[in-house]
Amino acid sequence: MRIRVLTLAAAGGAALLTAGVLPAHAAPGPTTPKSAQEGSVGAADLLAKVTSCQQISSGKYKTDDGTSATVPVCGKNGAVFWKADMDIDCDGQRTTNCNETRDPWFQNDTAFHQSDGRPLKAESLPFVVVPGTSTIWNYTSSGIKGGGVVAVVYNNRVEYAVVGDTGPSTIIGEASYATAKALGIDPDPATGGADSGVTYILFKNSQASPIESHSAAVTLGEQLAKQFLQSN
């Protein structure tokens, strides 16, 4: 696992785009993921569309501190993607498994916040970490923003998540405790994670609303995944 940087990267200040927004009334509130295979779009179908990479990042990212930069951000119609490892983000609200005792790198904030202004809850909300803005890549320039919907694929499973936090500007491959747990990955923030084999597909100009509603992410993610298959 990487040595995590303790400084939380600032969220991008770009104006929010409106395409692909799911109305708040369609999402009743925060829910906990119940199944790693969410919706009817299969992992194999999604992976078949990301076998080749049209690199859109100016350089490549490391998966951990001290490793070589080998991971590009790739572009597709309606999405960007990368293939990396999964480190565990346990930041945000303190919970039973996400706190200073369980996580040596715990921070009590996330780059993006719930609709009530509080940090996200990594233990119960599936979310993905994007690299902080740098000369390598600026996620906002690709239509990616807080609350954007992500299909995370691992071991023939699909989990829908949201963009919930930003991380080091040179490292990629991190998701929340809840994301890892739903995919069958050890979610322990100190010793868990996956060394490789995780594909992150981020749908452009999308936003689950409210960001803390997993059901909103699943509903919108299912729609966007089907569009992604049709347009690539």
pTM of the model: 0.86
Ranges of the chain whose pLDDT falls below 50: 1-34
At 182 the three-state DSSP class reads helix
pLDDT number for residue 108: 97
Write out pLDDT tens, residues 78-130: 999 999 999 999 999 999 999 999 999 999 999 999 999 999 999 999 999 99
Give the separation between CA 145 and CA 69, rounded to whole angstroms: 24
Give the separation between CA 139 and CA 80, rounded to whole angstroms: 9
pLDDT number for residue 36: 60
DSSP strands (E only) in the chain: 74-76, 79-89, 127-131, 149-154, 157-167, 174-176, 194-203
Dihedral sign (CA 144, 175, 85, 107): positive
Give Cα separations from 17 to 14, 44, 192 (angstroms): 9, 30, 35
pLDDT number for residue 187: 98
Looking at residue 212, its amino acid is E
Average pLDDT along the chain: 88
Three-state DSSP string of 110-160: CCCECCCCCECECCCCCEEEEECCCCCCCHHHHCCCCCCEEEEEECCEEEE
Give Cα separations from 61 to 175, 198, 203 (angstroms): 16, 15, 20
pLDDT number for residue 38: 83
